[in-house]
Amino acid sequence: MTRDELKFGRFRLHLGQRELSRDGMPVQLGSRALDILCVLAAAKGELVSKDELMARVWPGEVVEENAIHVHVSGLRKALDEGKSGQSYVVTVPGRGYRLIGVQPATAAAASEAGARPDRALPDRPSIAVLPFQNMSGDPEQEYFADGIVEDIIAGLSRIRWLFVIARNSGFVYKGKAVDVKQIGRELGVRYLLEGGVRKAGGRIRISAELIEAETGAHLWADRYDRLLDDIFAVQDEITMSVIGAIEPSLRKAEIERIKRKRPDSLAAYDLALRALPFLYSRMPGGVATAIPLLEKALELEPDYARARADLAWCLHHRFSRGEHRDEDRAAAIGHARAAVASGGDDATTLAVAAFVIALEEHDCATALSLFDRALALSNSNVFALGFSATTLAWMGRTELAIERAQRALRLSPFDPLNVGPQDALAIAHFHAKRYDEAADAARRAMEFNPGFSVPHALLAAALIRLGRVGEARVAAQRVIALQPTFTIRSFLLTVGLVPEVYEPFADAWRAAGLPEE
């Protein structure tokens, strides 16, 4: 076999010799149809526009666009798989054509012989997105399913801590019934994403499922049902939703995995993972455990930007809900700035650092710029959405805060970190004098993290404005029970970005019985 021999289904195409065969027997094609097939095959599954086909097949000639349709129709007829209903040439409306299922013949032969060796897992979380199954019975929808997968791969590739298998490796399994454990071994990945697409009438339904390859355990699943008014807008929306949901699911799976590893592992990544559950408590007791783990990770890998950002976040919690030591505040700012310097291409690192810079340094202009950079890298990053929502809420930018908080909650409704977006909603609604909505959001925040003092404080303020003083005082007592160092003046040091936003809270907290100093 030569390197320019390609396979799709039962067909083989030798590009150099321009020979097409099916099950070893020659297939006769008109010269123009064969030209079109060679161009599509050389693109290896990528879209080829009509203009490009015209230029490649009829160079220098003036022909009608209908000529493409005529020869593509002849090509489809020659490649028809009969009862299977398979059509290898699909039309992408208004854009061009693509040949699906194409792969190097050498790779196909290895697959058929079961000769793929197992691959070692990389030293970070790894995922492959398998081709989504076209369940509609309409071969023309194949391009839509493939487009969803390609966009998801591109989105996941922007998550810096995640090792993502390239599209062509995952598409080797298109149309094959292969055990997920085998695929995980052959691709060398810990996680697999698979799904299906069904189009019926004016609706499109997409299901997606995240699987741990080694055990076959299902970690997350969801289904998206949309009107097909604009198929590409729907594709973008679903892609963003899937990516937004996968990151927290993988984060949770990795934390659980690291708990099962031997405790003497000293890899920087493992240490940073071990710190996360304690960091997510957002309280001094938890971060006291997380801080030395992150410091050890940075000893092993000084340029580990995410660990440095998380350490800055820990120090922020210790300052704002602990003893309010100036050295903690200064160290938090220093680590946040260093994280930005070495992790400028990672959305999560930028978001965490921006949050610390906003609340500890009160440099809102820099923080908002960093949030924008993070969302430009990954517009479905829940850290960037949630942290920016909280920052914007304390700045009084109510509507944008609510919009970002709601996006974060829609993308990942069960993420434990959703205490942040719910806090943002409580702050924003309180500032807008929608006190019922503020109280509801504060209660939802408490459900995500009952031991975090801030939602209780937000609830106390909303209840005062609703005239429910007795309930407000109970909420205030809970704040002090969780955070004995809480005072109205000390909290001002962190979240007092705009006096017009903070002072109404301060007045309500005084009425609820929280201490001034």
The secondary structure of 70-87 as a DSSP string is HHHHHHHHHH--GGG---
Do residues 322 and 231 both lie within one domain? Answer: no
Tokens 């030395």 belong to residue = 292
- Quick check: is 283 in a domain? yes
Do residues 121 and 103 both lie within one domain? Answer: no
Number of domains in the chain: 4
Name the residue among 316, 384, 376 with its Cα closest to residue 354. 384
The token pair that represents 253 in the structure block: 């799976």
- Quick check: is 256 in a domain? no
The token pair that represents 448 in the structure block: 């995500």
- Residue 11 bridge partners (DSSP): 8, 22
CATH code, 135: 3.40.50.10610
Q: How does DSSP assign 314-365, residue by residue?
A: HHHHHIIIII--HHHHHHHHHHHHHHHHH-TT-HHHHHHHHHHIIIII--HH
- Quick check: is 437 in a domain? yes
**Model pLDDT, residue 380:** 76
Do residues 322 and 441 both lie within one domain? Answer: no
Strand 48-49 vs strand 11-14: parallel, antiparallel, or unpaired?
Answer: unpaired
Measured between alpha carbons, how far is 387 from 384 in angstroms, rounded to an integer?
Answer: 5
**Model pLDDT, residue 108:** 44
Domain boundary among 79, 108, 137: 108
Do residues 388 and 517 both lie within one domain? Answer: yes
Exposed (0-12), middle (13-18) or buried (19+): which is 252, by Cβ within 10 Å?
A: middle
Do residues 86 and 200 both lie within one domain? Answer: no
- How many CA atoms within 13 Å lie on the side-chain side of 481? 9
Q: What is the 3-state secondary structure (H, E, C) of 141-185?
A: HHHHHHHHHHHHHHHHCCCCCCEECCHHHHHHHCCCCCCHHHHHH
Residues of the chain with pLDDT under 50: 1-3, 81-86, 105-115
Phi, psi of 177 (to 5 degrees): -95, 100
State the DSSP H helix or E strand holding residue 507, giving kind and residue range, or none if neither. Answer: helix 499-512
Residues 6+ apart with CB under 8 A from 123: 267, 269
Measured between alpha carbons, how far is 133 from 156 in angstroms, rounded to an integer?
Answer: 20
Do residues 455 and 500 both lie within one domain? Answer: yes
| Cβ(100)–Cβ(76) below 8 Å | no
Domain boundary among 91, 108, 125: 108
CATH code, 97: 1.10.10.10
| Cβ(193)–Cβ(127) below 8 Å | yes
- Summarised one tens digit per residue, pLDDT across range 83-142 is 344 467 877 666 778 787 666 544 444 444 444 567 778 777 888 888 888 887 666 667
Tokens 């015209």 belong to residue = 54
Domain boundary among 374, 403, 431: 374
Measured between alpha carbons, how far is 371 from 280 in angstroms, rounded to an integer?
Answer: 20
Name the residue among 72, 489, 189, 158 with its Cα closest to residue 349. 158
Do residues 394 and 474 both lie within one domain? Answer: yes
| Cβ(445)–Cβ(422) below 8 Å | yes
| Cβ(293)–Cβ(272) below 8 Å | yes
- Quick check: is 216 in a domain? yes
**Model pLDDT, residue 115:** 46
Instruction: Taking the CA atoms of 98, 99, 103 and 108 in sequence, report the sign of the dihedral they define.
Output: positive
Do residues 229 and 301 both lie within one domain? Answer: no
Q: Which amino acid is at 322?
A: G
**Model pLDDT, residue 94:** 66
| Cβ(14)–Cβ(2) below 8 Å | yes
- Quick check: is 255 in a domain? no
| Cβ(460)–Cβ(476) below 8 Å | yes
**Model pLDDT, residue 318:** 94
**Model pLDDT, residue 82:** 40
pTM: 0.64
State the DSSP H helix or E strand holding residue 382, giving kind and residue range, or none if neither. Answer: helix 382-394
CATH code, 281: 1.25.40.10
- Quick check: is 239 in a domain? yes
- Quick check: is 53 in a domain? yes
**Model pLDDT, residue 291:** 95
Query: Where in the sequence is the domain holding 458, given as residue range(s)?
Result: 380-517
Do residues 156 and 234 both lie within one domain? Answer: yes
**Model pLDDT, residue 114:** 47
Q: Cα dist. 346→254, 381, 408, 412 in Å?
A: 18, 10, 18, 19
Do residues 395 and 431 both lie within one domain? Answer: yes
Do residues 359 and 421 both lie within one domain? Answer: no
Do residues 210 and 292 both lie within one domain? Answer: no
- Quick check: is 465 in a domain? yes
Residues 6+ apart with CB under 8 A from 200: 136
| Cβ(357)–Cβ(337) below 8 Å | yes
**Model pLDDT, residue 491:** 94
CA–centroid distance for 397 within its chain: 25
